[in-house]
């Protein structure tokens, strides 16, 4: 209300030669009562006032009688002091106050900086994402703050004991959506096998790790943006530079930045230079933008308003958990021969089955998978091709488990003894092979459990036990287990049995039809087994609904059979490759099998040798984990009429094979080459790094596996380009387009590619011509030569 009078006094003061600021202070003190503010005091007046206040306080203290303060009085005095403190305004610090850390005391609260939508994070983080020890994986999040203030983000990795193992800066890849990303690893990669002494170090790193995304106000970048503009246009330069000097000094003293002595001195020197008014503004600003300071902003930033997210859980699994090449064979067929004297087949044993180990090793596989090796029931035994009546020499299905000789904890005497099985495992380990054992949780009518635990089986109203069935199909040689009466008892028995086979040398269980048992049952069993044996892996043979397959992955199945055999067109395959090798790969590890004893698709039946080659290339290159059922090398592709399975199915008879014939077809040689390529370029294989490459022909599919340089042990990018002709009868040509920058290729130059199947080299650029014929080459697997 007295602004006009005050303005006139200030204007008049200029005529007397007084500086504006001194005259303003003098006038404000004289007329403070007229504008309603407390008069300003000089420094002398402040000192005098302080002395007077001290003297008054001392006088009051000495004049008051001494009193013994009771607890009540103390509390009252404390409360009074708190009230007085609350009324006292906080001191004003020149410049901007740094963003505070706001405690988060309950779920859903935000910190000073907002962190949301962290990925991977399916089912609201209830089930942890899964990664292999030392495997590179991506974490993303939305990180933002109000207004135009800049933010940063950091990812912190902690091991199962809560120890910080890695702190990595995140990069904003989409400013418009505030999306930040970082590539991380949990633990150190190792090739140690579970039976090797070095595995003890691996074992300590397995378990549940966490990743915390920390959002923070990037005070340095916010200041730098404004200060640079102000220096350029000459606006409020001194305040901008002094603010920067104070900021660098505060950064140098930050404990969170984890600076060493040299780094602190770098920041302190820059702060001193910025405060030096004898230098030009440009020189002072340059001190805060030097390469040394910029590097520290990346590695050891000043993080104001630090706001950590809830820890995101990651289940870290042992080496080869997500990179495996499986080879399945039936031990009873290995070494089997015709016995002309008795007119029947003499089956193989665990001793003769060593030949299967040698073949798997020669073809480059690293897991041998055996169907059940337990005694086979006699009652209602199945005959050839699943017939209801078995002949006198029919061995029965190994999935009709259990006889008077024993159940799931016994080796079938026709195969050998437990000592024979242990010797088999020892030989496998000498060859560097793991042994996977089929675990089919079902029983023949002769299984010991039928008498020992009759309540484990479902009965009909007439009191008889119900056969397994899927109407109109019936499995008369199998009793299904009923989990409703005594699931804890069944769990305990299964845990005992698995422990027995692990101690014998098994490191992986392939579980038959897990989707027909309660998910909670497997959750309990796998948790108990892996707690005692964290190296044990589980493969789910669950050709069923997507939800059930995902649930089984959530509860501990490391890998999963999948729909790959039925994905045969270009469109189907492109979609399925991205589904398998995308974010879903953090939870479900699809293992690609071209065929199994139960699956022989029309594509494999109709496309001959070329079809077998095509499906092998797609399986080996399309997923980090793949598998082959033996006999594939011999083009065993005759279907049982009306069924997508082989005729003369090995599940119901012993096969006598002439492995010398494998050389006629070239498939064994192809399998060996594919496994060699996988080993030599292992860093190109991940469940998260496939991209589809545009191709002009509907029968030519092309995709790339690319791992950037910063994620490889060599410091160089690792890239494979796979091109396949899906037509097993006709030649096709196509242009394959490469988005060169996406593959870390300089777009100004062409690149050399080497076909790892043939050894031929080519020069490629943006668009490249290929021609593939089934009688020559069905596929290229190019490696980019750097």
Strand, helix or coil at 388? Answer: coil
Of the two residues 209 and 66, the one the predictor is more confident about is 209
The superfamily CATH assigns to domain 324-442+483-681 is: Glycosidases (3.20.20.80)
Task: Single out the residue of 677, 682, 595 nearest to residue 639, CA to CA.
Answer: 595
Q: What is the pLDDT of residue 124?
A: 84
Catalytic residue among 122, 363, 495, 541: 541
Residue 216 has pLDDT above 60, yes or no: yes
Which ranges in the chain are annotated with CATH 2.60.40.1180? 690-785
Q: What is the pLDDT of residue 69?
A: 38
Q: How much of the chain, in percent, has pLDDT values that exceed 90? A: 80
Q: What is the mean pLDDT of residues 75-81?
A: 44
Q: Are strands 137-144 and 179-184 parallel, antiparallel or unpaired?
A: antiparallel
Mean pLDDT score across all residues of the chain: 89
Handedness of CA 43, 49, 52, 53 (dihedral sign): negative
pLDDT tens figures, 573-606 = 999 999 999 999 999 999 999 999 999 999 999 9
Q: What is the mean pLDDT of residues 731-752?
A: 94
Catalytic residue among 178, 214, 512, 727: 512
CATH value of 221-302 in 3.40.50.1820, 1.20.58.80, 3.40.50.12780, 3.20.20.370: 1.20.58.80
Task: Single out the residue of 564, 695, 548 nearest to residue 620, CA to CA.
Answer: 564
Query: Tokens standing for 180?
Result: 């930040």
* CA–CA–CA angle 88, 90, 95 (5° rounding): 155
Residue 343 pLDDT grade (very low, low, confident, very high; cuts 50, 70, 90): confident
Of the two residues 689 and 33, the one the predictor is more confident about is 689
Q: What is the pLDDT of residue 473?
A: 67
The DSSP symbol for 599 reads: B
Residue 363 has pLDDT above 60, yes or no: yes
Q: What is the pLDDT of residue 437?
A: 98
Distance of CA 758 to the CA centre of its chain: 34
Q: What is the pLDDT of residue 93?
A: 52
Of the two residues 489 and 16, the one the predictor is more confident about is 489
Question: How far is residue 493's CA from residue 508's CA, in Å, rounded to a whole number?
Answer: 18
The superfamily CATH assigns to domain 690-785 is: Golgi alpha-mannosidase II (2.60.40.1180)
Residue 5 has pLDDT above 60, yes or no: no
56-65, 169-178, 473-482, 510-519: range with lowest mean pLDDT: 56-65
Q: What is the pLDDT of residue 83?
A: 45
Give yes or no for a contact between 485 and 456, defined as CB atoms under 8 angstroms apart.
Answer: yes
pLDDT tens figures, 294-333 = 999 999 999 999 999 999 999 999 999 999 999 999 999 9
- 502: Cα within 13 Å, side-chain hemisphere: 21
Residue 18 pLDDT grade (very low, low, confident, very high; cuts 50, 70, 90): very low
Of the two residues 1 and 87, the one the predictor is more confident about is 87
Which ranges in the chain are annotated with CATH 3.20.20.80? 324-442+483-681
Beta bridge partners of 687: none
Handedness of CA 290, 295, 300, 301 (dihedral sign): positive
Question: How far is residue 436's CA from residue 475's CA, in Å, rounded to a whole number?
Answer: 25
pLDDT tens figures, 630-646 = 999 999 999 999 999 99
90-94, 216-220, 412-416: range with lowest mean pLDDT: 90-94
Q: What is the pLDDT of residue 553?
A: 97
Q: Which residues participate in the annotated binding site for alpha-maltose 1-phosphate?
A: 382, 442, 477, 513, 651-652
Give yes or no for a contact between 322 and 539, defined as CB atoms under 8 angstroms apart.
Answer: no
Number of H helices, E strands in the chain: 21, 30
pLDDT tens figures, 34-72 = 434 444 444 444 444 444 444 444 333 333 333 333 444
- What is the layout of strands, in order, in the sheet containing 137-144? 114-119, 137-144, 179-184, 171-174
The DSSP symbol for 476 reads: T
- 563: Cα within 13 Å, side-chain hemisphere: 14
Which ranges in the chain are annotated with CATH 1.20.58.80? 221-302
Catalytic status, residue 761? no
Task: Single out the residue of 167, 114, 168 nearest to residue 142, CA to CA.
Answer: 114
Exposure string of 361-389, with b = 16+ CB inside 10 Å and e = fewer, is bebbbbbbbbbbbbbbbeebbbbebbeee
Give yes or no for a contact between 102 and 305, defined as CB atoms under 8 angstroms apart.
Answer: yes
The DSSP symbol for 336 reads: -
Question: How far is residue 692's CA from residue 736's CA, in Å, rounded to a whole number?
Answer: 10
Q: Which residues participate in the annotated binding site?
A: 382, 442, 477, 513, 651-652
Q: What is the pLDDT of residue 472?
A: 67
Task: Single out the residue of 540, 539, 624, 633 nearest to residue 577, CA to CA.
Answer: 624
Give yes or no for a contact between 279 and 288, defined as CB atoms under 8 angstroms apart.
Answer: no
114-218+306-317: CATH topology: Immunoglobulin-like (2.60.40)
Catalytic status, residue 512? yes
Residue 355 has pLDDT above 60, yes or no: yes
Q: How much of the chain, in percent, has pLDDT values that exceed 70? A: 87
Strand, helix or coil at 160? Answer: coil
Residue 342 pLDDT grade (very low, low, confident, very high; cuts 50, 70, 90): confident
Q: Are strands 690-692 and 625-629 parallel, antiparallel or unpaired?
A: unpaired
* CA–CA–CA angle 689, 690, 691 (5° rounding): 125
CA distances in angstroms from 608 to 596, 612, 637, 729, listed in the order given: 17, 6, 8, 9
Q: What is the mean pLDDT of residues 760-783?
A: 96
pLDDT tens figures, 390-435 = 999 999 999 999 999 999 999 999 999 999 999 999 999 999 999 9
Q: What is the pLDDT of residue 13?
A: 40
Q: What is the mean pLDDT of residues 16-36?
A: 41
Phi, psi of 105 (to 5 degrees): -105, -5
Q: Which residues contact 354 (CB under 8 A, 6 or more apart)?
A: 334, 424, 427
Residue 336 has pLDDT above 50, yes or no: yes
């Amino acid at each position: 209300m007295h602004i006009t009078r005050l303005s006139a006094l200030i204007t008049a003061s200029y005529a007397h030669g007084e500086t504006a600021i001194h005259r303003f202070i003098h006038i404000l003190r004289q007329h403070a009562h007229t504008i309603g503010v407390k008069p300003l005091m000089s420094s002398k007046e402040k000192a005098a006032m302080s002395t007077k206040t001290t003297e008054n306080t001392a006088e009051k203290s000495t004049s008051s009688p001494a009193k013994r303060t009771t607890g009540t009085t103390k509390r009252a005095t404390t409360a009074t002091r708190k009230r007085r403190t609350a009324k006292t305004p906080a001191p004003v610090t020149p410049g901007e106050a740094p963003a505070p850390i706001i405690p988060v005391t309950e779920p859903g609260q935000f910190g000073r900086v907002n962190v949301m939508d962290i990925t991977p994070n399916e089912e609201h983080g209830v089930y942890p994402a899964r990664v292999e020890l030392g495997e590179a994986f991506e974490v993303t999040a939305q990180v933002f703050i109000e207004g135009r203030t800049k933010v940063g983000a950091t990812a912190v990795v902690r091991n199962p004991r809560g120890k910080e193992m890695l702190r990595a800066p995140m990069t904003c890849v989409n400013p418009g959506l505030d999306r930040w990303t970082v590539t991380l690893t949990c633990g150190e990669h190792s090739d140690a096998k579970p039976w090797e002494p070095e595995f003890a170090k691996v074992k300590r790193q397995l378990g549940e790790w966490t990743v915390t995304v920390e959002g923070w106000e990037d005070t340095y970048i916010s200041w730098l943006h404004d200060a640079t503009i102000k220096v350029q246009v000459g606006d409020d330069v001194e305040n901008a530079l002094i603010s920067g000097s104070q900021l660098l000094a505060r950064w140098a003293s930050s404990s969170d930045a984890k600076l060493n002595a040299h780094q602190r001195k770098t920041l302190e020197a820059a702060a001193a230079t910025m405060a030096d008014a004898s230098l030009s503004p440009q020189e002072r600003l340059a001190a805060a933008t030097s390469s040394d300071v910029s590097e520290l902003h990346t590695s050891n930033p000043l993080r104001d308003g630090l706001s950590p997210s809830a820890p995101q859980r990651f289940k870290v699994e042992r080496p080869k958990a997500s990179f495996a090449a499986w080879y399945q064979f039936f031990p009873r067929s290995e070494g089997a021969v015709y016995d002309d004297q008795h007119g029947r087949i003499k089956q193989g044993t665990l001793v003769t089955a060593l030949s299967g180990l040698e073949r798997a090793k020669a073809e480059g596989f690293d897991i041998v998978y055996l169907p059940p090796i337990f005694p086979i029931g006699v009652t209602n035994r199945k005959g050839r091709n699943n017939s209801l009546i078995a002949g006198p020499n029919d061995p029965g299905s190994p999935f009709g488990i259990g006889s008077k000789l024993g159940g799931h904890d016994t080796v079938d005497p026709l195969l050998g003894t437990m000592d024979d099985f242990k010797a088999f495992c020892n030989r496998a380990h000498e060859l560097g092979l793991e042994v996977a054992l089929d675990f089919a949780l079902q029983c023949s009518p002769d299984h010991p459990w039928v008498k020992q635990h009759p309540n484990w089986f479902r009965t009909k109203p007439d009191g008889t036990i119900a056969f397994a069935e899927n109407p109109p199909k019936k499995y008369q040689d199998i009793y299904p287990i009923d989990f409703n009466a005594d699931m804890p008892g069944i769990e305990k028995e299964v845990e005992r049995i698995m422990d027995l086979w692990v101690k014998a040398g098994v490191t992986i269980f392939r579980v038959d039809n897990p989707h027909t048992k309660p998910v909670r049952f497997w959750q309990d069993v796998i948790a108990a087994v892996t707690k005692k044996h964290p190296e044990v892996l589980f493969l789910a043979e669950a050709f069923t609904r997507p939800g059930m397959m995902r649930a089984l992955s959530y509860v501990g199945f490391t890998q999963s059979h999948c729909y790959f055999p039925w994905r045969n067109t270009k469109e189907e395959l492109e979609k399925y490759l991205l589904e398998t090798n995308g974010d879903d790969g953090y939870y479900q590890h699809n293992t690609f099998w071209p065929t199994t004893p139960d699956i022989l698709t029309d594509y494999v039946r109709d496309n001959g040798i070329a079809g077998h080659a095509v499906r092998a290339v797609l399986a080996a290159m399309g997923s980090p984990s793949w598998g082959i059922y033996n006999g594939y090398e011999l083009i065993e592709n005759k279907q049982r009429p009306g069924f997508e399975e082989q005729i003369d199915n090995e599940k119901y008879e012993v096969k006598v094979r002439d492995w010398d014939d494998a050389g006629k077809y070239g498939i064994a040689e192809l399998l060996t080459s594919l496994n060699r390529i996988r080993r030599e370029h292992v860093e190109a294989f991940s469940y998260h790094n496939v991209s589809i490459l545009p191709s002009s022909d509907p029968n030519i599919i092309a995709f790339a596996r690319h791992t950037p340089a910063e994620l490889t042990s060599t410091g160089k990018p690792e890239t494979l380009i796979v091109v396949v002709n899906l037509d097993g009868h006709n030649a096709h040509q196509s242009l394959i387009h490469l988005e060169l920058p996406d593959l870390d290729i300089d777009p100004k130059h062409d690149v050399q590619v080497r076909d790892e199947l043939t050894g031929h080299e080519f020069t490629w650029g943006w668009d490249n011509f290929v021609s593939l014929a089934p009688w020559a080459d069905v596929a290229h697997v190019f490696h980019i030569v750097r």
